Amino acid sequence: MEVTDVIFRLRLRAKSPSNVEMSGDDQGSGLRHKTGWRRAPDWLRLVPLRRRLVPMGSIIWERDVAEVYDQTYRAKFEPSVLDPVVDLLAGLAGGGPALEFAVGTGRVALPLNARGIAVHGLELSPHMAAQLRAKPGAVAVPVTIGDMTTTRVPGAPFTLVYLVANTIMNVTTQDAQLAVFANAAAQLAPGGCFVVEVIVPQLRRVPPGETARVFTMDPDHVGIETFDDVAGQVAWSHHWIEAAGRMVRHSAPYRYVWPSELDLMARIAGFRLRDRWAGWDRAPFTSDSESEVAVFEKES
């Protein structure tokens, strides 16, 4: 069995322990992301510095991860999961056009387009975009390679911008998450909506004195989340995925974000909260909700 350790092949460049800079890999924005140093998990410190993965703006998802994404998250492709997503987004888009930030392999963009909504995708990883482009119907969904914190795409203004599957957390600083809101606002028509689907941080599930929890334990996918930097709201998600006869190992940092902080970012960027649900079925959002679907409307 081939073992692919994705973590060590991410294209990062450590400048110094207090200043980490991403290479110009954001494919279009031309910007570089600088963030403060975040403490790495203990096991990672065994790895030479130049090979460590350290949090920064966003990481590039490499080919190995892209090739197994659909298989790993096949449950999210089930009609019972996807149909309510597409229903809600299609309703919010009205006549469209819509823009998906972090479009990935097109899980949502392709069926939304099949509903008659013009969809443009923005994606940081050329490997994820390549998976999308190989699918039937992809020719109707143009994809721009770029960073959702900065990249503008052709076709604005949009009636809907959406960012699903917890991907706001892939951007690992508060400033960069705010930039995502600003970039959505800049490409929306007045009255247009920015939809964010993200988990509610599950810190209550971590036992006292512990920093880790298992969030997935399937025969072909084990996932462990470690809360390494509570002050910076950065957790690491570690995955061991078996797909198509290969074992893929993937670790990445995420900046978890509370609903109230999302609302404040939205207000700063010129949005108002229109709705917040616990899921795509529009269930009420409560203190016990583990995820949210928030709809922010751009002020006129």
Residue 165 makes contact with ligand SAM by CB under 6 A: yes
Torsion angle of C-alpha atoms 85, 83, 129, 226, degrees rounded to 10 = 60
| Beta carbons within 8 Å of 213's beta carbon, 6+ residues apart | 202, 205, 206, 224, 225
Q: How far is the CB of 104 from ligand SAM (least distance, A)?
A: 2
Q: Of the candidates 38, 107, 120, 298, which one interacts with ligand SAM according to CB under 6 A?
A: 107
Q: Which is nearer to ligand SAM, 11 or 272 (CB)?
A: 11
Per the DSSP assignment, residues forming a β-bridge with 294 are: 196, 276
3-state secondary structure of 20: strand
Q: How far is the CB of 278 from ligand SAM (least distance, A)?
A: 18
3-state secondary structure of 92: helix
Report the alpha-carbon distance of residue 191 to residue 117 in Å, rounded: 18
Contact in structure between 279 and 87 (CB atoms under 8 Å): no
Q: Which is nearer to ligand SAM, 74 or 272 (CB)?
A: 74
Contact region with ligand SAM (CB under 6 A), list: 102-110, 188-196, 229-237, 241-249: 102-110
Q: Of the candidates 64, 123, 292, 297, which one interacts with ligand SAM according to CB under 6 A?
A: 123
Residue 167 makes contact with ligand SAM by CB under 6 A: yes
Q: Of the candidates 72, 125, 144, 237, which one interacts with ligand SAM according to CB under 6 A?
A: 125
Burial 130-139 (b: 16+ CB within 10 A, else e): ebbbeeeebe
Which one-letter DSSP state was computed for residue 183?
H
Contact region with ligand SAM (CB under 6 A), list: 48-56, 103-111, 135-143, 277-285: 103-111
**Site size for ligand SAM, by CB under 6 A?**
20
Distances (CA, A) of 87 to 90, 119, 127, 245: 5, 14, 28, 35
Residue 172 makes contact with ligand SAM by CB under 6 A: no
Residue 255 makes contact with ligand SAM by CB under 6 A: no
Residue 77 burial by Cβ neighbours in a 10 Å radius (0-12, 13-18, 19+): middle
Q: How far is the CB of 16 from ligand SAM (least distance, A)?
A: 23
Contact in structure between 291 and 280 (CB atoms under 8 Å): no
Residue 153 makes contact with ligand SAM by CB under 6 A: no
Binding to ligand SAM by CB under 6 A, coded x per residue (else -) over 130-149, reads -----------------xxx
Q: Which is nearer to ligand SAM, 147 or 292 (CB)?
A: 147
Q: From the CB of residue 11, how many other CB atoms can be counted at a distance below 10 Å?
A: 11
Q: Which is nearer to ligand SAM, 118 or 171 (CB)?
A: 171
Q: How are beta strands 19-22 and 34-35 bridged, if at all?
A: antiparallel
Residue 58 makes contact with ligand SAM by CB under 6 A: yes
Residue 294 makes contact with ligand SAM by CB under 6 A: no
Q: How far is the CB of 26 from ligand SAM (least distance, A)?
A: 7
Q: Of the candidates 54, 89, 92, 102, which one interacts with ligand SAM according to CB under 6 A?
A: 102
Q: How far is the CB of 217 from ligand SAM (least distance, A)?
A: 19
Report the alpha-carbon distance of residue 168 to residue 155 in Å, rounded: 22
Residue with tokens 């400033």: 175
Residues within the interface to ligand SAM (CB under 6 A): 58, 61, 102-104, 107-108, 122-125, 128, 147-149, 164-165, 167, 170-171
